[in-house]
Amino acid sequence: MLVIPPEMAERYHLAAGVEVEIIATDDGIMLEPLDVEPWFSVEWERALEAVLEDHREALDLARD
């Protein structure tokens, strides 16, 4: 069994049962989640979080 810290699992959209590919590299191993949308990237997620933070007040008002 492999245990991934919750913060890291959330950041990379990993949950119990998500399949990963194990890739051997010169620096160690890399886990690549399978069935993650092809548009997903950490950079894209950071940009989205920045936009949401910048417009949080407007988004909150739109929900009311």
DSSP H or E stretch at residue 30 = strand 28-33
pLDDT (tens place) for every residue of the chain, 64 residues total = 788 898 888 777 787 888 889 999 999 998 888 877 766 677 787 888 899 889 888 888 777 6
pLDDT at 22: 93
pLDDT at 29: 93
Q: Could you tell me the two tokens for 12?
A: 């990379």
pLDDT at 26: 96
Q: Are 42 and 11 in contact (CB under 8 A)?
A: yes
pLDDT at 42: 72
